[in-house]
Structure 1
């Protein structure tokens, strides 16, 4: 990879880190409260490696086969891999075996399959329930009212570790998603009354992550702000 691309990545990474830290300061939170996840879907392994060389450890993928190729190529780098895309049941075995986190669990069957197919030599798979916070037909996820039942089921599966909730607010929200982020935080707080170990709000992307941090995000998923505009997927 050329020096100019590496330098561009470094500049973007520094800007995002600075924005993250400024948003945490504004919210009265320590910067280490918020984990930056680099969304590397459609990006080549050498760009992931370049960002890893700058200190980034958490990477997220949407497309399984593309992700498996990168995980294999970068296996010696000790990266943390997050799956954030819709989950087809015929893909759960590979997801369970190769990822550290899954942010997009949205139904009982997927949760049970991930549990049953998680290799016993690996630690329990960290999972978040995806919430369709704005009730959009185009998005996966359970309604806020369905979270508690799915959380209870996941809590009883020994090879999964329920960490919290994930959501993607509607793109055209006038408040930059603030209301949706706040609702997700309130939903997590409600479920935490009976499951006090929940600690994750996976919310906020390139255009709205500072708002998400103000509303309590613990994990922000950043793609374009780090890697630039995405190429068209073949």
Structure 2
């Protein structure tokens, strides 16, 4: 049975192989370790193995881990789950990134509740690229309006797009979704400063996502094992 450190190494090797296959530069994709439901002890093992980017889906669980590990340097905390308006203050006060911004109300509250003295909160707009009723995210045609609003907030820095494509797609569906997402990203990447992140791809589909321009993959089970 592989250790967390060994699985991290394997994940990095998969990323580098996918980058080579896509003729992209080495180290041009970041690995976000999705640590939801996992104990602090597992995060410590990953940290000691060199992992610094951690993603949490649940606000209270994430805040507890942030506080438990606050003595460690260099950790970057990403909120990647759906965010309700009554949880924005805790996120604004503790996290470094929010990848799941899907409406103006959430963006405004995060901006207003970000404490003075903290660096601007990095945010990504979550796109519902496959128009699934079960998924959060804005429709592609609604992105312009949300971008205009977010770029006007002083305490937010718009970094890119995030998406969770359809589970178990056909190869044709997967290619269509990932191509559409990459085209959206390229459109805004050329217009906006700091717009450098396309967060898509997980344990099962990171190679396909990297082939289609992902700059950050969100990997949980391939690092920490099956969720509790």
Task: Give the structure-1-normalised TM-score.
Answer: 0.93
Secondary structure of the residue that 1:46 maps to in structure 2?
helix
Partner of 1:138: 134
| 1:101-180 correspondence runs (5 A) | 101-175=97-171, 177-180=174-177
8 Å Cα contact 1:129/1:164 also seen in 2: yes
Secondary structure of the residue that 1:177 maps to in structure 2?
helix
1:91 equivalent in alignment to 2:87 = yes
| 1:27-38 correspondence runs (5 A) | 27-38=22-33
The root-mean-square deviation of aligned C-alpha atoms, in Å, is 1.3
2:193 and 2:9 map into 1 onto residues whose CA distance is 34
Query: Which residue of 5, 13, 17 corresponds with 1:22?
Result: 17
8 Å Cα contact 2:33/2:54 also seen in 1: yes
| 1:179-190 correspondence runs (5 A) | 179-190=176-187
Aligned length: 226
Deviation at 1:217, TM superposition (A): 0.5
154-163 vs 168-177, which deviates more?
A: 168-177
Deviation at 1:95, TM superposition (A): 0.3
Gaps of 5+ in 1: none
Partner of 2:42: 47
Gaps of 5+ in 2: none
8 Å Cα contact 1:209/1:220 also seen in 2: yes
1:204 and 1:177 map into 2 onto residues whose CA distance is 11
Partner of 1:201: 198
8 Å Cα contact 2:198/2:214 also seen in 1: yes
1:61 and 1:177 map into 2 onto residues whose CA distance is 25
Task: Give the structure-2-normalised TM-score.
Answer: 0.96
1:12 and 1:179 map into 2 onto residues whose CA distance is 30
Secondary structure of the residue that 1:33 maps to in structure 2?
coil
2:176 and 2:159 map into 1 onto residues whose CA distance is 22
Deviation at 1:149, TM superposition (A): 1.0
Query: Which residue of 89, 95, 100 corresponds with 2:96?
Result: 100
Partner of 2:76: 80
8 Å Cα contact 2:103/2:146 also seen in 1: yes
Deviation at 1:202, TM superposition (A): 0.4
Secondary structure of the residue that 2:134 maps to in structure 1?
coil
1:215 equivalent in alignment to 2:212 = yes
8 Å Cα contact 1:177/1:208 also seen in 2: no
1:193 and 1:214 map into 2 onto residues whose CA distance is 20
1:20 and 1:85 map into 2 onto residues whose CA distance is 23
